[in-house]
Amino acid sequence: MLKYIIVITLFIVSCTLPKDKFLKDFGIFINETEANYKSYDDSEWKITQLNFIAFKEEFEELNDKMDNNEINQTNSFINRFEKIEIRRDPLNNILKIFK
């Protein structure tokens, strides 16, 4: 019986759509960044920014496969990250403040 449960679980996990995995991973990334950005040193912050750019590029690739709710969710993640950037370094992000 345990074998069947494991096989079914693996099947369900392997059938996850790329956009669903993207939304889950992007959400986790944003939540972790919001919780920890104050403790990041400059090199950690650069890595975080590179990860964000990678998520934005992946969003551009998946955008045509997403419905409006998924697009809105992704845009809210992007806005949350931009707010983190402003809070972390307001002087270098002054233009974003006035958007």
Residue 68 lies in a domain: yes
The three-class DSSP label of residue 90 is coil
Given a contact cutoff of 8 angstroms between Cβ atoms, the answer to whether 29 and 51 are in contact is: yes
Work out how many domains the chain is built from and give that number: 1
pLDDT given at position 92: 73
Residue range(s) defining the domain that contains residue 31: 18-97
Residue 6 lies in a domain: no
Q: What is the mean pLDDT of each run of 10 residues along the chain (99 residues)?
A: 44 65 95 94 94 96 93 96 88 66
pLDDT given at position 55: 95
pLDDT given at position 98: 63
pLDDT given at position 10: 45
